[in-house]
Amino acid sequence: MITTIPPIGILIDLPFGVLMWTSLAHFLLVIVMREDSPFIILRILCSINFPVHRLIGLVKPDFIIARLTPLYCALVLFLLRYYLLPLLVGFEVWNFYDMPLESLLLSAKSDLGF
């Protein structure tokens, strides 16, 4: 399944996919913790996602509060990965598991026997 995606599609999609998942993890941690928490994982996620959240903040509507910015960022990145990247690179995405990062992770999972 991963071989039907052009290599340039994989190289373009992987950073967007990692940013999408880290932004979602950032949102889930912000739900239960303060933004300025000393928890090391939250600080790492904040430092990774800060430039992307800054860029998304330029197009983010004003009614979305600051704590929802990571979730909004994950949604924008998902829509970008699901609709725009396949159109530009030239591969088909029929469901969530056809995206390059997710299909790569699922094939690695099946290779490892989980």
Q: Which two tokens stand for residue 1?
A: 């399944």
- pLDDT digits over 31-64, tens only? 999 888 899 999 999 999 999 999 999 999 999 9
H, E, C per residue of the chain: CHHHCCHHHHHHHHHHHHHHHHHHHHHHHHHHCCCCCCCHHHHHHHHHHHHHHHHHCCCCCCCCCHHHHHHHHHHHHHHHHHHHHHHHHCCCCCCHHHCHHHHHHHHHHHHHCC
* pTM given for the model: 0.86
Q: What is the pLDDT along the chain (114 residues), one digit of tens a residue?
A: 445 778 888 889 999 999 999 999 999 999 999 888 899 999 999 999 999 999 999 999 999 998 999 999 999 999 999 999 888 888 888 888 788 888 888 888 888 887
- Domain ranges, ordered by start, for the chain: 10-101
